[in-house]
A and B are shown apart, each in its own frame.
Chain A
Amino acid sequence: MSDRLIGLVLLVMSGLFYWQTYFFKKPPFAQFEQMGSEFFPRGIVIGLAIFSFILLVKGQGSLLPSWRLGSVRALFTRYREVLLSLLLFPVYALAIDLVGFLYSTVVYLIVMQLMLKPRWGRGLVYTVVGSAVFSWGLVTLFEGYLHVVLPSGTLF
């Protein structure tokens, strides 16, 4: 994404946020307040819009990105681990909510480690055992010693 395109996106975003400030509700006790809740955010949005405009005008790169199938494939190959991690993390967050911290963490650790470096045989056993011990250790430490309750899962 070029600087100029980022400038444009931020400019549009500033407009949307400015428009949103009209929907802030004034509490009854502050009806005659000159500086309402929108006063400061509007100042920030105006500043953001000004600098986004400068980036749009003075920034580098083209406004329209050129997408080619080859470049998309190359991008996926280059960022494979990043993209897969970005997909796995929300799944992990959902799993914590559903099946609890312990089980979701064990599975997440195993999947992530195997994705980053596939291992079979003894290596796989180490990965599974290491993930289980690490997860169990965290739960024991937090719940047993630090008195912090971790999610047990809404399904259980």
Chain B
Amino acid sequence: MFDYLLMGFQTAFEPGMLMFTALGVLAGIIIGLIPGLTITMGVILVLPFTYGMLPAEGLTTMMGVWVGGASGGLISSCLLGIPGKPSAVATTFDGFPMARNGEPGRALGLGTWASLFGGIIGWFFLATLTPLLADIGLKFGPWEFFSLIAFSLTIIASLAGESLVKGLIAGLLGMLLATSGIDPMLATPRFTFGLVDVEAGFDFLTVLIGLFAFSQLMTDLERLRSPEKVERIENPDTHIPTIQVLKDIWNNKVGMIWASLVGLWIGIVPAAGGAVANVLAYDQAKKVSKHPEKFGTGYYEGIIASEAGNNSVSAGDLVPTMALGIPGDAVTAVMLGALLIHGLNPGPLLMSTQPKLAYGLICAYLVATVLTLIIQLGLMRILVKLVLIPKNVLVPGIFVMSALGAFVLNNRIFDIWVLFFFGLIGYFLTKHDFDLPPFVLGFLLEPIAEINLKRALQTSSDPTLFLTRPASGIFILLAVASVLYYFWTGYRRTQQELPQPAEASVGVEH
């Protein structure tokens, strides 16, 4: 493995690669720091620019965007009190109060350095766990893959949103629309409704651009009517007191490592994603802290936990995506699409058949993490000014970029219509509290699920094998457990909301 890692570093450190990674990081940071633009959208918007690049260049650029985007949100969190992206929510709890208390440079420095250390811890596990998981994945048959997909879909439906039924509907709807086009096994056209262009199916990335970029823009347009009142820090002093920041981090090393591990674990488990990791890492750091009462008042440990957690989660997300080809959330689903476009086929065979690219990508993660620190520290004065780009300029530009991204995939105008169609679906689902990640995972995993189910049943018509084969049985059990967990938490919530007998009797007496 060390030989492969060395080879990966050689690839990642080529001057051209470094330049593309740095450009990706810069783009990611800028997208991450603008409130309303998510990392998913950032990856989607930058992807078309990589089509003309060599696979290694394109992939390292995308990795840069992802890693930079994970860290960029801290700038608006600290200076505006508005998270640049959902996975920087907890950074606002302490980052903004610290900046308001006259220490914006320290807040930004803590976030930037904690991102680096969280990223490094995450990378260590990414580099060691991915080959191990891929080895396990090589032993999987179609039963295991189908059960794993069933588990991924049920857990994302039960954890990602408020309603399990709506989550499952979204997942099934995504799967249903993914069956449009040619059947992967029998080459029969399905659900084409007489449209020749649909026979090729809907391109996954076009669907993603529609679902995430287009529907997000619609939501942004709604907010233009009622803009949030922003209490920003005017002309912040962005000088970062590096020695003090590093001392703070050293004093809180246990909390930071713990928060990074929490983030990593959340990343590896499907469904939860950066937003959950961020808040959970913050909460866990508060629990292990000697001064939990100071959290939320501009306390340095809060910023460190939040940023370390949301950076290590990216590494955790990549583990199952690269090793098994099963993404855990929307942004990894987009990254999976990017890998596919550049000729990398994520799954158990990836690490053994394309080790140069696979390990190059893993090493690019670490390089991007370091470059994020360098770029953020070097360009902080300029970056803080970009936080306030007006939406009326930004939104039309992103509409154009979305249309362009959809078009250049296959050089078809039809794909712009597909983008529009899925944009409408995404906006409608969001407006009615259906979560998009189950839809995306359903859409992405449908062909794999169908092929593996058919293969399993063609190999043996005995359906009990899904339960009796150990790994498959465990995945099925986990799927059932995730549904039961949803009902259990719902039951507990209902019990807590019910009036207690003592309170009720007091009410009667009065």
Contact = CB atoms under 8 A, between A and B. Distances in A.
Interface stretch (B83-91, B109-117, B171-179, B248-256): B171-179
A93 B222 contact: no
A108 B173 contact: no
B52 A146 contact: yes
A58 B408 CA distance: 44
A133 to B, nearest CB: 12
B400 A108 contact: yes
A116 B395 contact: yes
B52 A93 contact: no
B411 A149 contact: yes
A41 B172 contact: no
Interface string B187-220: 1111100000000000000000000000001100
A148 B190 CA distance: 31
Contact of B403 (A40, A45, A96): A96
B175 A44 contact: yes
**Which of the four size classes fits the interface of chain B?**
35 or more
Interface in A1-42: 1, 3, 6, 10, 17, 20-21, 24-27, 30, 33, 35-41
Interface in B141-184: 165-166, 168-169, 172-173, 175-176, 179, 183
Contacts of A17: 176, 191
Contacts of A40: 179, 446, 449-450, 453-454
A109 B400 contact: yes
A150 to B, nearest CB: 7
B397 interface: yes
Contact of B222 (A48, A55, A79, A138): A79
A14 to B, nearest CB: 8
B52 A145 contact: yes
B275 to A, nearest CB: 24
A147 B52 contact: yes
A116 B172 contact: no
B458 interface: yes
A27 B407 contact: no
Interface string B398-436: 011001100110010100110010011000000010000
A134 B183 contact: no
Nearest to B433: A3
**Residue from B53, B169, B391, B446 having most chain A Cβ neighbours under 10 A:** B169
Contacts of A10: 169, 173
B49 A146 contact: yes
Contact of B224 (A48, A81, A97): A81
Given A6-B432, A35-B457, A81-B225, A44 B396 contact: no
B221 interface: yes
B186 interface: yes
Contacts of B175: 44
A39 B191 CA distance: 13
Chain B binding site: helix, strand, loop or mixed by DSSP?
helix
Contacts of B417: 90, 93
A9 to B, nearest CB: 11
A89 B51 CA distance: 24
Nearest to A36: B186
A78 B218 contact: no
A93 B392 CA distance: 20
B140 to A, nearest CB: 20
Contact of B186 (A20, A30, A79, A135): A30
B393 interface: yes
Contacts of B51: 146, 148
A33 B458 CA distance: 10
A82 B403 contact: no
Given A89-B399, A96-B407, A44 B416 contact: no
Contacts of A96: 403, 407, 413, 416
A58 B172 CA distance: 19
A117 interface: yes
Nearest to A38: B190
A26 B188 contact: yes
A24 B221 contact: no
B408 A142 contact: yes
Contacts of A89: 399, 403, 420, 423
Contact of A113 (B392, B403, B404): B392
Interface of B: 48-49, 51-53, 165-166, 168-169, 172-173, 175-176, 179, 183, 185-191, 217-218, 221-222, 224-225, 390-393, 395-397, 399-400, 403-404, 407-408, 411, 413, 416-417, 420, 423-424, 432, 446, 449-450, 453-454, 457-458
20 contacts: A10-B173, A21-B190, A27-B186, A27-B187, A35-B454, A36-B188, A44-B172, A44-B176, A81-B224, A81-B225, A85-B217, A92-B403, A96-B413, A116-B392, A117-B390, A138-B400, A138-B404, A146-B49, A149-B411, A151-B407
Which 6 pairs across A and B sit closest by C-beta, in order of nearness?
A: A146-B52, A112-B396, A116-B392, A37-B188, A117-B392, A37-B183
Given A39-B454, A142-B52, A142-B404, 4 more contacts: A86-B424, A93-B416, A146-B51, A150-B408
